[in-house]
Structure 1
Amino acid sequence: MMEQAIATYREEASELLAELESSLLELEDTPDDDDLINRVFRAMHTIKGSGAMFGFDEIASFTHEVETVFDMVRNGKMSVTKRLLDLTLRSRDHILALLDASAGSGEVDRSQGDEIIASLQQLLPQAVGGGGEVEAAPSQSESGEAEATEEKTWRIRFRPTRELLLFGTNPVSLINELRSLGECHVVAQLDEIPLLDDLTAEHCYLYWDIILTSTRGEDAIKDVFIFVEDDCDIKIQLIDSGGLIDREDGYKKLGHILVERGDLSVEEMQTVLTQQKRFGELLVEQGIVDPEKVQSALIEQQHVKAVRQERSAAPQADAAASIRVPAERLDQLINLVGEMVTVQARLSQVSLACGDATFISISEEVERLTNELRDTALNIRMLPIGSTFSKFKRLVRDLSQELGKEIEMETFGAETELDKTVIEKLNDPLVHIIRNSIDHGIEMPDVRRAAGKPSVGTVCLGAVHSGDSVLITIRDDGAGLDRDTIRAKAVERGLLAATAEVSDKEIYSQIFAPGFSTAQKITNISGRGVGMDVVKRGIQDLRGTIEVDSVRGSGTTITLRIPLTLAIIESLLVKIGDSHFVLPLAAVEECVELTREDVEAAHGRNLAIIRGNLTPFISLREQFEIDGDRPDIEQIVIVSVNGMRIGFVVDFVVGEHQTVIKPLGRLYQDIKGVSGATILGDGSVALILDPGVLTQCAEMAEASLTQ
């Protein structure tokens, strides 16, 4: 179970590091935001405390140094500066490297960690005399005001779940961390320990009452339990504060303390008070309260009398109603739901063939439940795309500093949801696009000012739902694409004929050709002609499309259309001879008839006049060399491919179909124009077609015939 706890820590720490980076970048814009400063501190405190608990001592000791600096920022003894943020971001990267190295992935340059710590220590206020770069805010004592060091006393009941030890957590470590906050008394409660025959050695049956006097406040106490708060019942009450106790007897009676804690009812207290023995002794003799609880209440009474501070109880926050599930289990669930959809389709087909009303009714009910189950399962895997957007703020910040440019990043639609797998596969294409926007698009500040632009450039990244897809837009206000230069380079490489008349979109699409680059020199960011072809291939692998629009001098906009999920899609089922094929419904615009007269009027060219426009088409029967007679009236399925209308000729259009995508085996992975397969209700297999690749194959075949 310790291995599971360590794996959980690594996952939690990775999420906290992502949150830390996001908070630091926000803090750069609003350095006086106390909430952001506290978020940064709590993230580092959790990484440190949990790291020490699970044996990540190197991470804990390094993070402690960074946490110390931000503790001073939190207490108003230092200001947030660009230098501090740079070092903290480097610290975040070093912690991530240590985390990866602990899992056997990569090595760590520990000298960098030492350098970061030394630089951070130079920022501390005491380094002022030594010439350190410090922007320290004056403390309250320096300004002549009283320091806010009021001691308060807290009552804490720490009741872990029975399974806490199985998660690798040691409660003693948490209690010892509480002791470090101030004067502390701890009493273990034993009343839930079962008889030996019923005892499970791995379970925790103890819980603890802690009386703590500290100047640190409630947040510091909560920070101790932050990593285990979902696995414990923790009650924190502020019971004593300076100046509130004026009674001659000094503090509450023993009975009142027990009633407040919930260990004794008011009725039981009144009954015992009528007797002539000491209250605590009577409670224990009559078995009303366990002796440990009486001892704990007496310790609280004595503790508070010594400190003489009091305050009312603070409410306990509700635990988050969420659970963590491995991605593999979700993938398995989606696969099972896909099989369910296939079986349901077969059930519907069989019930209609039988014609039994009861059977059909049951089939329709199963179909309704299956659809709800499918939608629910897919929604479980949906994540807001903002989790990916936040990563690119750091990319923009670092690259703009490296290139000497001033760039701001704007985002919108961060709440737009996409399948987890799609988001993961989008990362690399988006990195390439944003790097190109920064390097090729945004000009240097002096160039922008000379052109009448603000010196600070903008890269805007956004997402919005569009039907069963998401439109992701990457827009910059840079120099835009040079149409003539791109065309000349394409002609030089043989990608375009010198006399060809092509639209701007077709010219701009040349940047996605492998090895294409117009950069005058090679840098460590771009210029080698790799990247944008990777972008196009990555988007095609997601069954998406990519479009480029640019205005010279004003900027470039790249739009990605990505399906919401890769598991189940809405499609159009078509038939050619005895074979079935599937086309993604999102790309289909309309279906029209193709008669023999239409074919003869084209004089051997694959062209048809549709709604007054000449539309090229591809005969799938010829493309796949399917034998058999063609029907007198065929169907043309009009599909949008990279902004162009292309027709696919089939024998029959069967109708809409809910397609569960199955990957092809290794022997068939290189078949062009086929992206997968699906199982139909009758058990037969239908191939899922890729309209973009089929169009490219047809264009290449036609070009070879004309040469």
Structure 2
Amino acid sequence: MSSDDPIAAFLVEASDVLDAVESALLDLNERLDDMAVINAVFRGLHTVKGSGAMFGFDALANFTHHCETAFDQVRKGQVPATGPLVSVILAACDHMRRLLHGEAKDDAGATLLAQLETEMAKATGAPKGETAPVPQPAGGGWHLRFRIAPDAMARGINPLALLAELAELGPCQVTALLDAIPPLPDLDPAHCHIGWDITLTGAVSREAIEDVFLFVLDDMELELTALEPADAAPQASADHGEPDPDPRTEQTRTAPVETVRVPADRLDAVMNRVGELVIAQSRLSQIASSNENIALRSVSEEIERLSGELRTTMMVLRMVPVAQLFGRFRRLVHDLAGETGKDINLEIEGEGTEVDKTVVERLFDPLVHLVRNSCDHGLEDAEARRAAGKSPTGTVRLAACQSGGQVVITITDDGRGIDIDRVRARAEANGLIEPGAPIPDHDLIQFIFHPGFSTATKVTSLSGRGVGMDVVKRTIEALRGTIEIASQPGHGSTISLRIPLTLAIIEGLLVRVGSGRYVLPLAAVEECLELSTADDTRSQGRSLITLRERLVPFVRLRDLFAVSEPADPFQKIVVVASGSSRVGLVVDQIIGSHQTVIKSMSPLQKGAAAFAGATILGDGTVALILDIGHLLAAAGGREDRLRAVG
């Protein structure tokens, strides 16, 4: 990884390390005796401390040093790991993040360190301020030689800080290697020409030494040789020549990792260019198809192939696993369990499912609302769960899977479920429905998305003000997605989100209604069939067809869009679906598939709810992209009403 700004690179890397430490702490909270996890936490804290000192973040390094020292006693078995101790270190990680960005309060760190000291004393049973002595490591050690990159100091790397970190691991004998210093006329004062030969004694792991060089390992020379206990005594070197070859010497320097951090706005800019290229290629294909020049057609086909491959590659670059999203909820549920006093177990499935990075970013806030509601409203307390014959520990499950061109995310809890009677009572009290009106349970549940609607009996710090679920629905719909709720009283609820894999380019089905052309997301299309004259005549006033022994409502798009031209003699029905809902869309002609570059609607046109955006066709004209969710809502309830009538 390279960066023009070493401080910016450090901030990104340090944030990643803190994320890893937090994840390890959450694992440790479930397995308090797992030494592998304990060592991972210690290494992470050690890395943050050392790299912070290297880049001048002294407040971060000093604060983390206290946390590392305390956790070192856990690592050495002098202090047992406890739930409260893990919670304090988690809070300390939050403070480290604030220190990274200069947002920490002056007294917050002292308060956390006092809490840490208290928990350490509780864990050991010693009076506050007294902890078990830390024995010095004995036996073994390492011989290491290293040289940092010549321009390392110009990038903010301080070799003295590296030496100081090594000295903290154990007694060191350090000798400077001066053999690479050039003659004075050729000396560049901005470059580092010195190397170091070090004998480090004590029981130090290879990982601990490599962690010291974590941020410079890719472009430095490092040799490590394990010492036997008999060889561990520090020995001064009289000369600076190369040591004799030793079969135990291992080159820990690895080839640079083939990854590059790219700012998100650069990816967005490239994606926009790819979109323009797809549009231009479509226009070229249309011109070539009407031209008899064989060479032009050949070039058009080759450009179509290359642009398609480029589009696919660009889409893959923007895809990230939902693990990046789901992993953040482990900490949220841990904190919610503490706030509510409930035992909550979070289960995660489908972490490898990939989705566009923009979608992931915009999904976080709605998922926070949903997970909070599941923990606060959905799950009962331990006493109520025992009375209902359930385990005292409630379970919230986050799952993701890919379905066609969509990713389906479900949030499931095994709590009390949605109280339909309470929802009805609140809807009647708010004047949303007439008292006693016959409304299916599915439609009643949808009222929880109404602004200001809440069934909570009291307002808490987590929920109860009726703010959140309406925001969730608007956010999901803005992503061209849908949200569905299924609930079983006494057994829990499941909320399903169906979101497009990408917001930039989709495969679409181009159709014509009158003289206008429209695009349907191909992922939502189930099948196409012809609307016969008999069905057309019979369906007047009912707008239903029977498809494999199931009634499917359909919408005449020419009526919805007030098309004045006469209908084609043989109209077509495109059946689209979202979740368990299906609707037929009557069009005049199905033109075919189309690579659709989605363009946002202007502010003046955003009120047209039937459309999710627009695209430019090969001939330069504009086609509107239909909003499947809105069309399903337009046909919603029609089948139920007709069943009730007939």
**1:165-564 map, 5 Å:** 165-180=153-168, 181-189=170-178, 191=180, 193=182, 204=191, 206-215=193-202, 217=204, 218-238=206-226, 240-243=227-230, 295-297=239-241, 312-316=248-252, 318=254, 319-496=256-433, 498=435, 501-564=438-501
Match of 1:30 in 2: 31
- Please tell me the residue identity of whatever aligns with 2:161: S
CA distance in 1, matches of 2:20, 2:229: 37
* 8 A Cα contact 1:411 1:460, kept in partner: yes
Q: CA deviation at 1:432?
A: 0.8
CA distance in 2, matches of 1:233, 1:575: 65
- Please tell me the residue identity of whatever aligns with 2:610: G
Q: CA deviation at 1:22?
A: 0.8
- Please tell me the residue identity of whatever aligns with 1:421: T
**1:86-235 map, 5 Å:** 86-100=87-101, 102=102, 107-124=103-120, 131-132=127-128, 148-160=137-149, 162-180=150-168, 181-189=170-178, 191=180, 193=182, 204=191, 206-215=193-202, 217=204, 218-235=206-223
1:149-196 C-alpha deviation (Å, 9 max, x unpaired): 115241222242x44344322334323433454233232445475996
CA distance in 2, matches of 1:200, 1:351: 60
SS in 1 for 2:79: coil
Q: CA deviation at 1:626?
A: 3.6
- Please tell me the residue identity of whatever aligns with 2:113: I
- Please tell me the residue identity of whatever aligns with 1:121: E
* 8 A Cα contact 2:420 2:441, kept in partner: yes
CA distance in 2, matches of 1:624, 1:4: 54
* 8 A Cα contact 1:121 1:127, kept in partner: no
SS in 2 for 1:657: strand
SS in 1 for 2:277: helix
Answering whether residue 594 of structure 2 is matched by residue 657 of structure 1, we say yes
- Please tell me the residue identity of whatever aligns with 2:197: I
CA distance in 2, matches of 1:613, 1:453: 38
Q: CA deviation at 1:243?
A: 2.5
1:16-49 C-alpha deviation (Å, 9 max, x unpaired): 2221111100011112222211221222222222
SS in 2 for 1:486: helix
CA distance in 1, matches of 2:32, 2:123: 22
* 8 A Cα contact 1:157 1:235, kept in partner: yes
SS in 1 for 2:416: coil
Q: CA deviation at 1:94?
A: 1.1
1:449-479 C-alpha deviation (Å, 9 max, x unpaired): 1111111111111112222222212111111
Alignment CA distance shift 1:133-1:213 (3 Å):
closer
Answering whether residue 42 of structure 2 is matched by residue 9 of structure 1, we say no
CA distance in 1, matches of 2:57, 2:129: 31
Q: CA deviation at 1:212?
A: 2.3
CA distance in 2, matches of 1:172, 1:245: 23
Match of 1:625 in 2: 562
CA distance in 2, matches of 1:342, 1:111: 57
- Please tell me the residue identity of whatever aligns with 1:401: G
SS in 2 for 1:354: coil
63-72 or 688-697: bigger deviation: 688-697
* 8 A Cα contact 1:241 1:311, kept in partner: no
Task: Give the structure with higher Rg (CA).
Answer: 1
Match of 2:606 in 1: 669
* 8 A Cα contact 1:546 1:642, kept in partner: no
Q: CA deviation at 1:117?
A: 0.9
1:528-549 C-alpha deviation (Å, 9 max, x unpaired): 1121111111211221122211
CA distance in 2, matches of 1:196, 1:482: 84
Alignment CA distance shift 1:126-1:434 (3 Å):
closer
Q: CA deviation at 1:112?
A: 2.3
* 8 A Cα contact 1:46 1:227, kept in partner: no
- Please tell me the residue identity of whatever aligns with 2:62: S
Alignment CA distance shift 1:37-1:93 (3 Å):
same
CA distance in 2, matches of 1:669, 1:186: 70
* 8 A Cα contact 2:145 2:197, kept in partner: yes
410-419 or 167-176: bigger deviation: 167-176
CA distance in 2, matches of 1:98, 1:47: 11
Alignment CA distance shift 1:153-1:390 (3 Å):
closer
- Please tell me the residue identity of whatever aligns with 1:382: M
- Please tell me the residue identity of whatever aligns with 1:686: A
Alignment CA distance shift 1:179-1:10 (3 Å):
same
1:329-350 C-alpha deviation (Å, 9 max, x unpaired): 2112221222222222222222
SS in 1 for 2:604: helix
CA distance in 1, matches of 2:547, 2:436: 28
Give the gaps of 5 or more residues in structure 1. 142-146, 255-293, 302-309, 702-707
* 8 A Cα contact 1:571 1:659, kept in partner: yes
* 8 A Cα contact 1:672 1:694, kept in partner: no
Alignment CA distance shift 1:130-1:377 (3 Å):
same
Identity of matched residues, %: 43
Q: CA deviation at 1:134?
A: 9.2
SS in 2 for 1:586: helix
CA distance in 2, matches of 1:347, 1:429: 42
CA distance in 2, matches of 1:221, 1:128: 29
* 8 A Cα contact 1:79 1:135, kept in partner: no
RMSD: 3.3
Alignment CA distance shift 1:210-1:384 (3 Å):
same
* 8 A Cα contact 2:82 2:123, kept in partner: no
CA distance in 1, matches of 2:40, 2:443: 48
- Please tell me the residue identity of whatever aligns with 1:74: R
* 8 A Cα contact 2:322 2:355, kept in partner: yes
Q: CA deviation at 1:498?
A: 4.9
Return the TM-score normalized by structure 2. Answer: 0.89
Q: How many residues align?
A: 634
1:47-80 C-alpha deviation (Å, 9 max, x unpaired): 2222222222211111111111112222222221
Alignment CA distance shift 1:165-1:661 (3 Å):
farther
Match of 1:281 in 2: none
- Please tell me the residue identity of whatever aligns with 1:233: E
Match of 1:644 in 2: 581
**1:610-621 map, 5 Å:** 610=547, 613-621=550-558
Alignment CA distance shift 1:506-1:124 (3 Å):
closer
Alignment CA distance shift 1:504-1:215 (3 Å):
same
Q: CA deviation at 1:683?
A: 1.8
1:97-122 C-alpha deviation (Å, 9 max, x unpaired): 2223x2xxxx4333221111122234
* 8 A Cα contact 2:407 2:500, kept in partner: yes
SS in 2 for 1:243: helix
1:595-644 C-alpha deviation (Å, 9 max, x unpaired): 55544433445445555554433333333334423222322222225633
Q: CA deviation at 1:3?
A: 8.1
- Please tell me the residue identity of whatever aligns with 1:183: C
